[in-house]
Amino acid sequence: MGQFQIIELVSVIEACTTDRAAGRLVSMAKAVEELRVLTGDFISPDEIVANALSPVAWERGCAVLFDEQPGADILHAPWQDA
């Protein structure tokens, strides 16, 4: 759990980096999900996975958007409260 190879981390960061007018940006929500799919690790907490990915992104000159949230994969619209 939480043991990732550097090649896996670099591959995910490269795949998830977007170029914006303000620079290169990596969404941790997307990167965490991509690393889970790549490694088959669906057990490690999001923060462990994000903590493994973010230093790699910074080393590659990317800004990191920490947008992962527990339950973010569950869609809930405000009108469903009724």
Q: How do residues 29-50 score in pLDDT, each as one tens digit?
A: 999 999 999 999 999 999 999 9
Number of domains in the chain: 1
**47 is a domain residue:** yes
Q: How do residues 10-34 score in pLDDT, each as one tens digit?
A: 999 999 999 877 689 999 999 999 9
Instruction: Tell me the pTM.
Output: 0.77
**72 is a domain residue:** yes
**1 is a domain residue:** no
- Owning domain of residue 11: 6-81
- Whole-angstrom distance, CA of residue 14 vs CA of residue 24: 10
32 CB-near residues (< 8 Å, 6+ apart): 46, 49, 50, 53, 68
Residue 24 Ramachandran class (φ > 0 left, ψ -120 to 50 alpha, else beta): beta
**65 is a domain residue:** yes
**31 is a domain residue:** yes
